[in-house]
Amino acid sequence: MKAALAIIASLFLATCAQPPSVLDQILQAGELRVVTRNSPSTYYLGAQGPQGPEFDMASRFAAELGVTLHIYSVPTVGDVIRELKRGRAHIAAAGLTRGGVLPRRTSFGPPYQQVKEHLVFRMGGSRPRSLAQANAGHIEVAGESAHTATLEQLRLRLPSLAWVENSTAETDELLNRLSRGEYDFTVADSNEFAIGRTFHPNIRIAFDLTLGKTLSWAVDSRDPALLNRVTAFFAALTADGTLASLLDRYYGYTERFDYVRSRDLMAHVQERLPAYREFFQEAAKKYGLDWRLLAAVGYQESQWDPTATSATGVRGLMMLTEDTARSLNVADRLDPRDSILGGAAYFVSVRDKVPRRIAEPDRSWFALASYNIGFGHLEDARILAQAHHKNPDRWEDVREYLPFLAQEKWYALTKNGYARGYEAANFVDNVRSYLAVLEWVTGDANRPAPPSL
């Protein structure tokens, strides 16, 4: 009898026990499941694996938890929301606008990026000055997106406002179709537009539909533990400057990228790159580099013209000086393979001078600046940055001081004197821009979804 009562009591207590929190389930399983979208502003496969701002943040969060990240992409924002509703992901890190409709037991995490919603048009078309003027044309937006919700709100002021919701295309595809003239206008968040204009240089902002919104993760909030951990994660990421650095990696170059360079690059990717891609890949394999980075340097130097020659005698696809070519045993600077292999060897030689404590991608940006201006001048800029209480191991801080090397009151204080530091800063900006395009147009980010939780 006593044994039976003990069994009944244990069963009763078991039924009353609290189930493990979502965070505990993640920790016990050793896996964080994150759903995202395949786009240059969220997640994609680059030369060395997955990347994108959402991937970088999600991988940092998983590392903080001490678990494996399982990230997968779905086609649209609507699909992201459905994945959350089905319980197939713990977090949606997909460039979601805070304030949209989420499934039950799902909440927005803290905001991590401010954006505006642009009405976008194509160069050569008529630029509307008001929503009423835009309404005379064809407006197409992503279905089930925050943009449709914005237009719904605006229709309260302009009842005749009409648009087409595309349920199968995301903003990057809509920008592509707009650039081809398939319709008159679309709506894009400012971060999506910033990257999109790199690929579609003929798109322009007509005006802003909203003054500002924020992006956030959507988090399984059946209990508060995971949401609290996400909130603490972003607070720390913001406080130590990591979030700003991460966003600059993907968006910093876009403000300094112009229409002509972008237009020409997209044409040359099709017309010129195929002839030299194999050489870039060969050199990258030999020196342990990303071939797209070498290609981006080559494009900055010569626009992939193996016969390029400067007034100072620098020649070839990678624009090597005669002394540099000789030191690298490059027999013929005008031979594209020799030039690319020589450029790769030279890049590695200058990168090796950059302190190894500097993390990527900043170490590569420093190496590029050194490739352009010389390591001594780069060190001068780092010293100036440190003297002004900036971080000499952070590219954006040092970039700010590179132009000072052309000002006498500053270069007089340096060991190596005058240098056209602004050119080195622009050199790195341009290479980063070209690299971003090459990573996206040559990447693929399709991964299967996980089973339901």
Sequence-distant (≥ 6) Cβ neighbours of residue 170 within 8 angstroms = 37, 39, 75, 76, 77, 142
Tell me the pairing of strands 164-166 and 140-142: parallel
Annotated active-site residue in 117, 170, 192, 301 = 301
Q: Among 429, 433, 421, 367, which residue's Cα sits nearest to residue 396?
A: 429
Record the tokens describing residue 286, joined without a space: 């030999």
Q: Check: CB of residue 369 under 8 Å from CB of residue 308.
A: no
Write out the E strands in 98-222.
106-108, 113-115, 117-122, 140-142, 164-166, 185-189, 203-208, 213-220
Per-position DSSP letters for 63-77, written without gaps between them: HHHTSEEEEEEESSH
* CA atoms of 147 and 113, how far apart (whole Å): 17
Q: Which amino acid is at 193?
A: F
How far, in Å, CA of 350 to CA of 75, rounded? 41
The burial class, CB within 10 Å (0-12 / 13-18 / 19+), for 412 is exposed
Q: Cβ contacts of residue 50 below 8 Å, gap of 6+?
A: 43, 44, 59, 71, 445
Task: Sort strands 68-74 and 31-37 into parallel, antiparallel or unpaired.
Answer: parallel
Which residue has tokens 């010293």? Answer: 383
Strand pairing report for 117-122 and 185-189: antiparallel
* 301 is known as an active-site residue: yes
Task: Provide the annotated active-site residues.
Answer: 301
